[in-house]
Copies of this chain bind each other. A is one copy, B any other.
């Protein structure tokens, strides 16, 4: 959150914004529970491969309904990719906004009207900072980081990784070509659950699917 002023007005207003968001997230959580919807909030840097992982996931999950909410500043490119898999999807464009919030998710869920038992993926705006602050009412938070981004990301963006129920280390297919230490990254992540995979090539995607549906 913005520290330009540092004045108490800004801090109080930020607290109010977050409190209002938390309240709405609570309503989303009740709605998901009532319908038996499992909601997964997917967060990462831009270009870490969230949409590619979703494309593969949606084709693999056939024993329950799936749906997707796509968050981006602009374009419906990701929604188009998701729709091509046959999955219901709603695109949310945040404009200048740097994250999804609970109100955006509530409105998108109204439009999606997910069937009971749906596995709902919420692909957040690509941003390793701001989305960590905003509860969407999700059941689980998944942070995707790719091996091309460097081993140090859990140390440099601690708030995001502290909030993760699962960390997916993606783009294992590029591991031979980059300076990334998977064991050291796991060490930085401490006791957090980690799945390393390649969404593009499919390596170890079964571990992710097991986590999702287990």
- Residues in chain A within 8 A of chain B (CB atoms): 1-5, 9-10, 13-14, 16-18, 20-21, 24, 45-47, 72-75, 77, 94-98, 101-104, 125-130, 133-134, 146, 148-150, 152-153, 155-159, 171, 173-174, 177-179, 200
Assess whether B101 is in contact with A98, with CB atoms less than 8 Å apart.
no
The contact of A13 among B10, B24, B179, by CB within 8 Å, is: B10
For residue A125, give the distance in angstroms from its CB to the closest CB of chain B.
7
Counting every copy of the chain, the complex holds 2
B96 touching A133, Cβ below 8 Å: yes
State whether A75 touches B152 (Cβ < 8 A): yes
A-B contact pairs, 6 of them (CB 8 A): A5-B17, A10-B17, A46-B128, A73-B129, A77-B156, A127-B130
Please name all residues of chain B whose beta carbon is closer than 8 Å to the beta carbon of A47 when the two chains form the complex.
45, 146, 148-150, 153
